[in-house]
Amino acid sequence: MVLVSILVLCILGVLFAVLLGIANKVFHVEEDPKIAMIESALSGANCGACGYPGCSAYATAIVAGEAIDKCAPGGQTAIEEISKIMGMKTGAKRVKNIAWLICQGDCDIAPRKSVYIGAKTCREAKAVGFGDKTCKQGCLGYGDCEAACPFDAIHIGEKMLPVIDREKCTGCGVCVKECPQNTLVLQPLSKNVLIRCINTEPAKNVIKECGIGCIGCGICEKNCPIDGAIIMGRNLAVMQYGTCVDCGICASVCPKKSITDEKKERYIPKITDKCTGCTLCARTCPVTVITGKIKEKHIIDPDRCIGCLKCVEVCRFEAIVPDHERPKSIPYYKERKFNVREKKEISR
């Protein structure tokens, strides 16, 4: 009886194997070989920053017509490789974004209100009274971002604030999504000036909660030479990053140092004899301080230049360079004493 049962099972096994083989042949769908090629060109991180559950799904979507520039970890290299596979033009270069921390309230600057002994995660700490920090809107420092980062680009420092490795960070945005306090944002790697506070409480409360928090005084907005680059709302200065030209004036005049500038030294630019008079710099200058005729060497007004160096970035002939003999450091900005009246004159 046992032998009969075994024999029946073997026959059924063979029969089902044959049926599965036939079904595989009948219903087989040929996979586009480009999918595998594109998947190999992607980062392989499966981080989900592209909006798809993994690199394989995104590769399939690209073949179906999806944009090729959504792989943040792969960056420009992935775009170029995929464009070759798909027979497309690369187009404009992808701007590399990285995660930036917009909070400076470390354990020395932001006083502690208690000793927190709960689960050491930001989400848990937020659920039970925001951990041990007096400031309820700043970084809690328990490392949810560090645990979530697929590239080992974030580590919690000694003062309980995330330290972001600018080289390792790919701008995938996983940490930004994971942060329950919204103290991480994605901005270009080339960005220098950021407002590093999101506390919307009245100034008297902010001063008690953080020694470097924004008090909503509005000095940055009044001194900003670009209309609309900084707006005041809910007791807080808010930077419009699409409008900001990264000149650093706001950082130099901020009394609480809530705005930081990665460039420690700034210079006004000068135009050399390489200038061809293409006028691109004059058309790019946000405060219209560059003048000159077509095909003639242009001139920069040093007394009105704000030192954003946008002209240096766009010059195709390397004819504009920072003049290291004319520093535009923090003391210089304070001497200028930009005000609303001068701001309007510059805008004209």
pLDDT tier, 347 (very low <50, low <70, confident <90, very high otherwise) = very low
Task: Determine the average pLDDT of the residues in 64-92.
Answer: 85
154, 99 Cβ separation under 8 angstroms = yes
**pLDDT, tens digit (0-9, with 9 covering 90-100), for 314-327:** 999 999 999 888 88
Q: Where do the H-state alpha helices sit in 27-121?
A: 33-41, 55-63, 75-86
Distance CA 303, CA 267 (A): 12
316: CB partners within 8 A, 6+ apart: 278, 280
CA distance 221 to 226: 9
Residue 130: pLDDT band (50, 70, 90) is confident
Helix (H) or strand (E) holding 98: strand 97-101
- Is pTM beyond 0.75 here? yes
CA-to-CA dists, residue 201 to 182, 197, 237, 339, angstroms: 16, 11, 12, 26
All structural domains of the chain: 34-86 (1.10.15), 95-191 (3.30.70.20), 197-264+329-348 (3.30.70), 267-328 (3.30.70.20)
What is the torsional sign of CA 241, 244, 249, 253?
negative
What is the distance between the alpha carbons of residues 136 and 257, in angstroms, rounded to a whole number? 20
- Name the band, by pLDDT with cuts 50, 70 and 90, for residue 15: confident
Residues constituting the chain: 348
